[in-house]
Amino acid sequence: MTRSIRRLSVVLALLLIALLVNVTIIQVYRSDDYRARADNQRVLLEEYGRERGPILVGADPVARSVETAGTLRYLRVYPEGEKYASVTGFYSIVYGATGLERTENDVLSGSSDLFFVDRLQQLIAGRQPRGGAVTTTIDARAQNAAWRGLQGTRGAVLAIEPSTGRILAQVQAPSFDPNILSSHDPAAIRDYYESLLDDSAQPLINRPIVALNPPGSTFKIVTAAAALASGRFTPDSVLPGPAEYDLPLSTRTLRNWTGEECGPDEQVTLIEALAQSCNTAFAWLGNELGADALREQAEAFGFDTAFTTPLRASTSRFPDSPDAPQTALSAIGQFDVRATAMQMAMVTAGIGNNGVVMEPYLVQEIRGPDLAILRTSAPREFQQAMTSEDAADLVQMMVAVVDRGTAGVLRGITTPDGQVVSVGAKTGTAQTGRDGAPVAWMVALAPATNPQIAVAVAVEDGGDNEVSGNAIAGPIARAVIEAALR
């Protein structure tokens, strides 16, 4: 009996120790994680009693709190809800917070350590604590242009300032109204949320940074960068450009989108191959370079790396071990190559920034309740993706795509004083998109010398050839560029 009691005592002691360890881990080491959980409604209810800080685009709030006469003292409102939903997310009593509402919650709620002195002063003065403000990097004109351009489509736009990595526009279509999800009516919130989940167009997906699609021929700028980096090719190097390319180790063939050869005697220069978006030339080039060289170049631009802006983006990818025919298809952005609009904007921006890829970021400043600047984001270099000399050559190749190639819709862009802007670009159409639908792409940078903006547009259900990229995605890219250069 004594032995049994002793064993039971040991077991109970071990359970008590385990309980104490678990409580310590939860209360000390993981308390911040539990407070930050989107479904922690106790914290949300507590925060509804204080004025939450605004999310700003320039000096204008795209998310702010207004006082009510209800039980919940403050209501979150979004003056231009759907347009900025990809940036702000929502702040819901039922479903928690998403977007910047979630990632910057400690600032917006006023719980950040940055506000310690301010909270102390408010406590002494007997004032209700207030949240701080988050100023985004978004350019309102570029955002407006992207929003207008995407109406009636299913797609995404993301624009970056090449020299810094500042995100200038981030728009999804279709979008959703965060005002409904952030209301004080739980029944209406649930009904609307369920309708969004049931929508086959998936409006809750943050398409610019989450949706992964084959980049199609826009990936040819990555293949071209790898060719220049190899030292074996220049823009004037001559490549085979037949109407059809026999895929190695396969009975399948790859055709050009025009159905014709790319040059006299089935020969074409690298610069003209990019301008015409010659599939057979780039498939051949991919096999000449090899999968390892393509993967190394893609990763130098950010593929296979996870980025937060602070919103978490999907990781764009290049296939692990493609065989020869798969490598040929990968070289033209097909097979298992997948990219977000943000990733293709990063590639384009890196080429325009002398080969240096900057980390994209969405938050410019953190401000206190009195709007005094407490912290400013500094640009951070991701890595040098290519030499400045090769980048300059590739920019000129992309200019040829606009001047005499498949991106003619971008010709003739002018500055406010009437100066014609030189633009570099690449069209693309992926034959296999979401639900098997094609995706029309356009990536572009402007001005070609010292670019101020790099933009990627992806329109799902967008057509089946390079003309689609120019006709469907191109006008949206043009509108965003024109707005950003004003």
Catalytic residues: 217
Size of the chain in residues:
486
In terms of phi and psi (left: phi > 0; alpha: psi -120 to 50; beta: otherwise), the region of 99 is left
| Contact predicate 333/218, CB 8 Å | yes
Q: Which of 243, 131, 156 is nearest to 480 (CA)?
A: 156
* Distance in angstroms (rounded) separating the CA atoms of residues 395 and 51: 48
- Segment (H or E) for 210: helix 207-210
β-pair type (133-136, 55-57): parallel
Q: Which of 196, 212, 3, 181 is nearest to 96 (CA)?
A: 181
| Contact predicate 356/381, CB 8 Å | yes
| Contact predicate 421/413, CB 8 Å | yes
| Contact predicate 362/136, CB 8 Å | yes
Report the amino acid identity of residue 347: V
* Distance in angstroms (rounded) separating the CA atoms of residues 481 and 464: 25
β-pair type (356-358, 244-246): unpaired
- Segment (H or E) for 460: strand 453-460
* Distance in angstroms (rounded) separating the CA atoms of residues 96 and 109: 13
| Contact predicate 445/350, CB 8 Å | no
* β-bridge partners, 414: 420
CB within 8 Å of 456: residues ≥ 6 apart = 157, 158, 159, 218, 341, 342, 343, 344, 345, 348, 441, 442, 443
- Segment (H or E) for 122: helix 116-125
Q: Which of 475, 477, 440, 439 is nearest to 456 (CA)?
A: 477
State the virtual CA torsion across 458, 459, 464, 470 in degrees, nearest 10: -70
